[in-house]
Chain A
Amino acid sequence: MAETAAPAPAPTPSGPARRRRRLAPFVALPVGLVLVGFVVVLARGKPAVDRIIASPLLGKPAPALQGTTIDGAPFSLANQKGTWVVVNFFAPWCTGCRQEQPDLVTFSQRHQTARDAELVGVIFNDTAANVRSFRQSEGGGWPMVIDPSGATAVDFGVSALPETFVIDPNGYVQARFSSPVTADGLDRVIDDLRNGVDPSKR
């Protein structure tokens, strides 16, 4: 077995002496620092689902959300005080919304008996008829509010889909998602908020 020392059989020429300089640490250090920075950046990146972002509405009372649902029933956010409300802005043409649909179904089923969290949808830039035919194949029974002038979307500051807001039992906006959500993600955030933990610091 060869020894652990690096072999150096060639005699050093008697010209200018070739010292084996300690080069490796000087190369490794800057490379290492760059890579550490890279890892830190990746760590701070926001995930593709359950992505929480800032909103000027955080901690403030939620904007008024009232209107008629696609089933013709009236809906008003103010009447929901006392439970957590998840407001999901939706349109059938949005692939992210279609992606989160099964999770929203799961979420609404989970809280159906306990009624501790309500799910309500708001149509963004599409017709009630389209949403009805979407629901025929994809399911979903929670109230879906029609927003004919888009005023609700503007009030909430929504310009792109999908977006979801979490509103506490007192009617204050506590979280904003700018990506598709998962049932587990929503539950995790609501639990955090109940316990006074800031969900965006996870």
Chain B
Amino acid sequence: MTRSFLRAWLPWATMAVIVVTVLVLGAGRGGTRSNKDRIDAIAASVRCPECRSETVRDSSAPAALNLRDFIATEVGKGTSDADVRAAIESRFPGTSLVPPSTGVGALVWIVPIVATVVAGGALVFAFRRWSRQAASTAGPSEDDRALVAAALEHAGDEP
């Protein structure tokens, strides 16, 4: 490792170490998510079964109030967010605002990722093609060289 290589890369290596350390130490649930926050978050991700186009969190329908109580009880018992949502979904199918990860609903997750990967791949392919083209046309072609040689031969001639 030469001196100049170290000098160039040392600050970056240091930064990388700091960043990774901070991220590892700082990972985990951001903010203080109280039970109340969890209840609200789950309630906001379920559509009210009795009142169309409102979430359980916002609706004042009796079913929504019951569901809020249900969510509060479950969160108090320590059930995970996913389990609570699954329980509600089994009682009231079609109300979850989180598209399922199986079946037709999964498409909404898969299609964008696949499309982006494909587009990214196309971009990489295009870059490769361009740089190959740039490389192959670098330097003068045979015809151009012949042209220059011919012109040089007559360079000393009368104008």
Contact = CB atoms under 8 A, between A and B. Distances in A.
Interface of A: 13-15, 48, 91, 93-96, 125-126, 159-162, 178-179
Contacts of A91: 61
Contacts of B62: 93, 125-126
The 6 closest A-B pairs by CB, nearest first: A93-B60, A94-B51, A125-B62, A14-B141, A13-B137, A93-B61
B141 A161 contact: no
Contact of A96 (B53, B63, B141, B143): B53
29 contacts: A13-B137, A14-B141, A14-B142, A14-B143, A15-B136, A15-B137, A15-B141, A91-B61, A93-B51, A93-B59, A93-B60, A94-B50, A94-B51, A94-B61, A95-B51, A95-B53, A95-B54, A96-B51, A96-B52, A96-B53, A125-B61, A125-B62, A126-B62, A159-B49, A160-B49, A161-B50, A162-B52, A178-B52, A179-B52
Nearest to B61: A93
A48 B52 CA distance: 11
A125 B53 CA distance: 18
Interface of B: 49-54, 59-63, 136-137, 141-143
Given A94-B50, A161-B51, A161-B52, 9 more contacts: A14-B142, A15-B141, A93-B59, A94-B61, A95-B53, A126-B62, A159-B50, A160-B52, A178-B52
B21 to A, nearest CB: 46
Contacts of B50: 94, 125, 159-161
Indicate the member of B52, B53, B62 with the most A CB atoms within 10 Å: B52
A193 B7 CA distance: 84
